[in-house]
């Protein structure tokens, strides 16, 4: 089943905070900003190659030794990035070019979790080591997590398959609650005392990170994260609320309809006709993607006439062929094929002989052309789309590899996620017919079903994509204390998603830690933004292609003119403010949710009709 995807595109900065190895540096800061920035970029570039390889090995061979290596690299990386960030203070008030100002900001705000640099060198190293140990321990706990069902140890994919495929509410609850025991954290005795729980580790990380953020001139980590969007953090937060207001009515119609279908399936005792939806019934471990319950929600008379998963199996697709097909979409737009090393070095299937972190991700090991993906590919529709998404990261990474080091990143982190998902929107019946996977395009009568299936993936995700970082912002600002971590999580899930746990949660539960991006400390607002941006990209690309039909039927497969303009935007990387990049491809400078609403407008009209007489909302 699909999880939302961690890109290693920003290995130069974002990954440095937790997965890198520092180099020795000059002890004196230059007075010339150009000289300082040249040195900083050289240090970061030299070191990120080692950093990425350390992280790659740890993710692909999870052992105590690779955990130790990754933790040590993370500590050294934190010291390097914090030192460089502090050295930018020497240029406050100096006359800088726009590029220099932008790079200085990236050095200050681009650290995901900074450690303070006060005290003696030994004390600085000690606190950086502690931060690295905490973050590595949380990520490793998640990666190695298992829960026993009927005498068999199951990993996350296996537990997720239960959530996705089983319709027995007791078994669903068992798998759902079982995975959340992992996030309580390791508690085996060690040296006469229990290990810290994940919640305790998380609280300690926040204390350290906030101290580091304040030292760099930010109010807290939330302020620092939000400062990465080319506008004041308060303005960015207001932009996010505006976007949610635009898409919230569509989500509420979908929620109302799905709740009714679940009530029909399970009855009032399991899922009431009113109020929130029980989280484990939605086909996804985090209720962020509801496509697995499409059979329960499918509109009548909307069968497209094919099941892509069955088609892929019948055509004897394997993991490599899945990825080759995804690559073929990008080359059809005129982009060059992936390098041979991609096929030699990527991890595309789950190994049988070792623990790996199977969370799908795209990697740029050397910030040039050592591109890889890491995913435990399954032959199904979901992973077919995931492949198209992941490769978007890789093609974006290569497109901007001639930029200065600090500009080798997406225009903002939402762009990086949106690129691949925008391409995946072209995985339409028209595209499948072009690939000869289906013999004919379904009639217009099937559109409601196709839109429903996509809405269960895209629209269902929007409130989850928003609430993950809203929870963290509250934690970082001290509005939520460790004692209330879990309560605050479910308060937000109720407010935005309209979901509730299947039973009362234990006092020591840390359900946020059951989502990869919390223990891995990956900012999540990027995914919410990407789900808005991808539809803006889709609308602009289809207009460029001269498409005049419904937006949801448009595929740009094979359109090299669109591909050239698309690649020109990608080549900009982070060298300009993101509104410049957005304007270069779409003609507008504002991120806006109306393209998404337009895409699903036919479905929203249908949902309103189905929901007449229902008590929607919760």
Cα pseudo-dihedral 527, 528, 531, 532, rounded to 10 = -140
**Residues 494, 498: Cα–Cα separation, whole Å:** 4
For the question of residue 390 being annotated catalytic, the response is yes
**Residues 424, 387: Cα–Cα separation, whole Å:** 9
For the record, the structure tokens of 268 come out as 């009032």
456: DSSP letter? H
Place of tokens 């004390």: 123
493: DSSP letter? I
- Tell me which of 76, 87, 327, 390 is the catalytic residue: 390
- Tell me which of 388, 416, 517, 552 is the catalytic residue: 517
DSSP string, 208-259: HHHHHHHHTT-SSHHHHHHTTSSS-HHHHHHHHHHHHHHHHHHHHHHHHHHH
Residue 336 CB neighbours (<10 A): 11
DSSP string, 56-93: HHHHHS-SHHHHHHHHHHHHHHHHHHHHHHHHGGGGTT
User: Taken in order 573, 575, 579, 580, is the CA torsion positive or negative?
Assistant: negative
For the question of residue 359 being annotated catalytic, the response is no
Q: What angle do CA 51, 53, 54 make, to 5 degrees?
A: 65
**Residues 71, 121: Cα–Cα separation, whole Å:** 18
For the record, the structure tokens of 266 come out as 């399970």
H helical segments located in 435-524 = 447-458, 461-476, 485-492
The residues annotated as belonging to the active site are 390, 517
């Amino acid at each position: 089943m699909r999880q939302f995807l961690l890109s290693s595109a920003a290995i130069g900065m974002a990954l440095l905070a937790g997965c890198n190895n520092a180099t020795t540096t000059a002890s004196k800061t230059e007075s010339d900003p150009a000289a300082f920035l040249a040195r900083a970029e050289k240090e970061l570039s030299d070191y990120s190659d080692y950093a990425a390889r350390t992280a790659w090995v740890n993710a692909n061979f999870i052992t105590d030794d690779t955990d130790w290596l990754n933790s040590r690299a993370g500590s050294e990386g934190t010291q390097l990035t914090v030192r460089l960030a502090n050295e930018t203070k020497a240029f406050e008030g100096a006359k800088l070019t726009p590029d220099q100002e932008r790079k200085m900001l990236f050095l200050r705000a681009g650290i995901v979790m900074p450690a303070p640099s006060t005290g003696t060198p030994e004390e600085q190293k000690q606190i950086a080591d502690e931060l690295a140990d905490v973050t590595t321990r949380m990520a490793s706990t998640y990666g190695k997590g298992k829960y026993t069902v009927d005498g068999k140890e199951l990993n996350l994919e296996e537990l997720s398959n239960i959530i996705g495929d089983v319709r027995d509410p007791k078994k669903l609850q068992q798998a759902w609650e079982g995975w959340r025991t992992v996030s309580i954290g390791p508690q085996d005795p060690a040296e006469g005392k229990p290990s810290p729980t994940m919640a305790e580790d998380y609280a300690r990380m926040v204390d350290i990170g906030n101290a580091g953020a304040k030292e760099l001139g930010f109010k807290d980590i939330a302020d620092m994260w939000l400062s990465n969007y080319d506008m004041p953090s308060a303005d960015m937060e207001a932009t996010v609320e505006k976007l949610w207001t635009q898409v919230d009515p569509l989500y509420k119609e979908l929620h109302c309809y799905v709740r009714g279908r679940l009530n029909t399936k399970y009855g009032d005792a399991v899922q009431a006709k009113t109020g929130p939806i029980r989280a484990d019934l939605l086909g996804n471990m985090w209720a962020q993607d509801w496509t697995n319950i499409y059979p329960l929600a499918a509109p009548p008379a909307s069968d497209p006439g094919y099941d892509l998963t069955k088609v892929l199996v019948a055509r004897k697709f394997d993991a490599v062929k899945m990825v080759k097909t995804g690559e073929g979409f990008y080359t059809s737009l005129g982009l060059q094929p992936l390098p041979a090393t991609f096929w030699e070095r990527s991890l595309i299937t789950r190994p049988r002989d070792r623990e790996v972190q199977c969370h799908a991700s795209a990697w740029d090991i050397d910030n040039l052309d050592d591109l890889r993906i890491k995913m435990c590919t399954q032959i199904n529709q979901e992973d077919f789309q995931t492949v198209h998404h992941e490769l978007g990261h890789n093609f974006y990474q290569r497109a901007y590899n001639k930029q200065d080091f600090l500009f080798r990143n997406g225009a903002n982190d939402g762009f990086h996620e949106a690129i691949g998902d925008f391409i995946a929107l072209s995985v339409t019946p028209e595209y499948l017919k072009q690939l000869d996977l289906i013999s004919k395009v379904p009639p217009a009568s099937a559109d409601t079903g196709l839109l429903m299936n996509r809405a269960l993936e895209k629209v269902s995700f929007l409130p989850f994509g928003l609430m993950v970082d809203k929870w963290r912002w509250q934690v970082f600002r001290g509005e939520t204390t460790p004692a209330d971590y879990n309560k605050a999580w479910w308060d937000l899930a109720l407010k935005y998603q309209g979901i509730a746990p299947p039973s009362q949660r234990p006092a020591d539960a840390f359900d946020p830690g059951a989502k990869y991006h919390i223990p891995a400390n990956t900012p999540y607002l990027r995914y919410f933004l990407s789900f808005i941006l991808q539809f803006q990209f889709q609308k602009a690309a289809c207009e460029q292609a001269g498409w005049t039909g419904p937006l949801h039927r448009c595929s740009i497969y094979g359109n090299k003119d669109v591909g050239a303009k698309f690649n020109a935007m990608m080549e900009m990387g982070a060298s300009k403010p993101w509104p410049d990049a957005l304007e270069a491809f779409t003609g507008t400078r504002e991120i806006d949710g109306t393209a998404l609403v337009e895409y699903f407008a036919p479905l929203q009209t249908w949902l309103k009709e189905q929901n007449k007489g229902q008590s929607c909302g919760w």
